[in-house]
């Protein structure tokens, strides 16, 4: 992987990642021609004492770019006199500071300590990662070589961002599809470097710590062993297994775990990195075949916190992919139980979902064999 760092017109950092064998880029040819004021994020953290959770207030994001037409996409390359966030006529993978970040701090200034109940500056970092210069190629249709490059970028950014003062958790993710709420259709994801450990990993690590104290075993490892031997496996290789979890919250939900206990993306070995793209592309193509359409989803990496004190030792890297689409043209909305009480009620039997995805086969998305629905437990109550 080749890496080059330059600056955009407003001072934001942009990092260029190219596949091996490509001619090195000339920094002089990567100058952003736009006239832009410096980005000055004004986010703050406020603490919800009743739930024990931090909430980020980022009012400046109300003005972020919203669903531009394809010919005005800010993530496409700069061509034919139109200047975008990427000042080059083509690229492999780029990562850059978000123009409308949820977190941010003055360059070179250490983030403040996150303590107490009073609002504090939401120090951290938000980056956009563009997977390809082609506006119409989703992740599921990337080549294995490009997926490998994206994986290397995720690992490199996790290591670099995790080393920054004040960062406690690094979270790479991808949102795909208008139904999920994506406002820029170009294939891309984001990376958040949080100044705290978010609620989901915090809860998981608390459960893992309690299990360790009670049994002496790692709960992640025990769950993976059970799933690999069960009926919810969707796809598996020598180093990764993809399965529908026993208590899936979403109509479509698949988790990918490496077999070797691995804390985070930088800790992946060569064998794990080489196989990941093959397994992940297989899973994504099955998901797209489910309803003969590109499935809207969130794909989120869960990995170890930066600090040992936050439970890093027992954390296990894994990828969670879920979709809110429960049938062709139908969305699972968070209703009163989920949104009001935090108690999920699933309309789909996890074993049926796993069987359906297994039946589709690795080449299903290209063959158009989706049959528009999953067997068993797919008749939601009215209003859902």
Sort 289 into a burial class: Cβ within 10 Å, 0-12 / 13-18 / 19+: buried
**What's the half-sphere exposure (Cβ side, CA atoms, 13 Å) at 116?**
6
**What would the two tokens of residue 88 be?**
């080059």
Dihedral, CA atoms, 186, 278, 93, 258, nearest 10 degrees?
110
CA distance linking residue 18 with residue 15, whole number of Å: 10
Residue from 188, 259, 318, 322 carrying the catalytic annotation:
188
Instruction: Reply yes or no on whether 188 is catalytic.
Output: yes
The 10 Å Cβ neighbour count of residue 60 is 16
Dihedral, CA atoms, 284, 290, 294, 299, nearest 10 degrees?
-40
Cα angle 217, 218, 221; round to 5: 120
Cβ density class 304-340: b for 16+ within 10 Å, e for less: bbbeeebbeebbbbbbbbbbbbbbeebebeeeeebee
- Residues classed as catalytic: 188
């Amino acid at each position: 992987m080749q890496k080059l760092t330059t600056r955009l017109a407003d001072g934001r950092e942009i990092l260029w990642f190219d596949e091996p064998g490509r001619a090195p880029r000339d920094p002089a040819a990567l100058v952003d021609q736009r006239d832009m004021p410096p980005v000055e994020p004004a986010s703050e953290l406020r603490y919800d004492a009743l739930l024990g959770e931090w909430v980020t207030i980022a009012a400046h994001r109300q003005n972020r770019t919203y669903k531009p037409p394809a010919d005005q996409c800010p993530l496409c390359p700069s061509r034919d006199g139109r200047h975008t966030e990427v000042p080059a006529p083509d690229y492999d993978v780029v990562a850059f500071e978000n123009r409308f970040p949820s977190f941010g701090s003055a360059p070179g200034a250490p983030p403040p300590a996150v303590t107490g109940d009073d609002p504090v500056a939401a120090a951290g970092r938000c980056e956009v990662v563009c997977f390809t210069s082609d506006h119409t190629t989703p992740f599921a249709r990337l080549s294995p070589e490009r997926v490998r490059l994206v994986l290397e970028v995720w690992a490199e950014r996790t290591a670099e961002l995790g080393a920054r003062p004040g960062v406690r958790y690094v979270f790479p993710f991808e949102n795909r599809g208008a139904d999920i709420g994506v406002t820029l259709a170009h294939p891309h994801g984001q990376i958040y470097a949080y100044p705290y450990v978010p609620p989901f990993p915090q809860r998981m690590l608390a459960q893992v710590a309690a299990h360790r104290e009670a049994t002496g075993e790692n709960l992640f490892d025990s769950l993976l062993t059970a799933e690999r031997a069960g009926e919810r496996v969707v796809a598996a290789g020598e180093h990764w297994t993809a399965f529908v979890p026993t208590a899936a919250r979403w109509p479509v939900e698949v988790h990918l775990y490496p077999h070797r206990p691995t804390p985070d993306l930088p800790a992946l070995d060569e064998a794990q990195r080489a196989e990941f793209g093959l397994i992940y592309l297989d899973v994504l193509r099955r998901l797209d075949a489910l309803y003969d359409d590109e499935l809207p989803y969130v794909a989120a990496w869960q990995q170890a916190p930066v600090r040992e004190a936050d439970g890093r030792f027992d954390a296990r890297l894994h990828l969670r992919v879920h979709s809110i689409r429960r049938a062709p043209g139908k969305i699972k909305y968070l209703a009163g139980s989920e949104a009001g009480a935090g108690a999920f009620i699933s309309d789909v039997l996890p074993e049926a979902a796993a069987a359906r995805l297994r039946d589709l086969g690795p080449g299903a998305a290209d063959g158009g064999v989706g049959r528009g629905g999953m067997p068993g437990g797919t008749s939601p109550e009215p209003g859902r």
